[in-house]
Amino acid sequence: MCTGGCAKCLGTTLIPLAVLCTLANILLFFPGGRVIENNKNITDEVWYFGGIVGSGVLMIFPALVFLGLKNNDCCGCCGNESCGKRFAMFSSIIFAAVGVLGAGYCFVLSAVALNKGPKCYTGTEWTYPFQDGNYLTNHTLWNTCQAPENIIPWNLTLFSLLLVMSGIQAVLCGIQVVNGLLGTICGDCTCCGCCG
C-alpha cells in the first residue's frame, strides 16, 4: 500500500475515535447519567480532560494531517518531485508523536481513574472509598457507594472505553511513525521504485 494511502486510512480511523473519546469524557461529568448538585463531587480524573484534550483535540491534528497526505501534490524541491511528498511524510511523524502523547495522557488518566475508583457518597461524606482497584474484583464493596446511583458501572464503562480507545489511537499513531519513516526514505509508491 502507498504510504499516503496508509496515512489516509489511519486518519479516517482516528477521527471517529477522537469524537467517541470526547463524548465519553463529557458523559463522565454526569455521574450515573444524572446531573450532580456539586461539581466538587465529580471524580478528579474527569476534570483533567483526558478524553477531550488528550484523545480528542490533540488527536484531530494528526488525523487531519494524515488525511491530507494522500492528496499532497507538493511541487517538490531541487528538481525532485518526490521531495515535497517526503517532507510531508516526515512532518507527519511529528504529528504522529503528538498523537501518541495525547493518547498516552488519556490512557494513563483512565488507568489511574479505574484503579482509584469513583468519588461517591458513603453515607457520611463524599470520598474515594476504594483502595488500589480492590472494588474491581469484589462487587460487594460496590454497596459502599450510596450516591450517585450506578456510579461504579458508569465510571467503569466510560473509563474502560477511554482506556481501550486511547490505546488504539496510540497504536495507530505508532503505525504512522513507521509509515512516515518509510515515506520519508522511499517517497510515495508512485514516485520511487523501492516502495512499490
Residue 132 has pLDDT above 90, yes or no: no
pTM: 0.86
Residue 115 has pLDDT above 90, yes or no: yes
Mean pLDDT (whole number) for 46-69? 92
The per-residue DSSP string of 37-76 comes to S-GGGS-GGGGGTIIIIIIIIHHHHHHHHHHHHTT-----
The string of pLDDT tens digits covering residues 182-194 is 888 876 555 444 3
pLDDT for position 187: 67
pLDDT for position 57: 94
81 secondary structure, DSSP code: T
Residue 135 has pLDDT above 70, yes or no: yes
Provide CB contacts within 8 A for 83, sequence distance 6+: 74, 76, 77
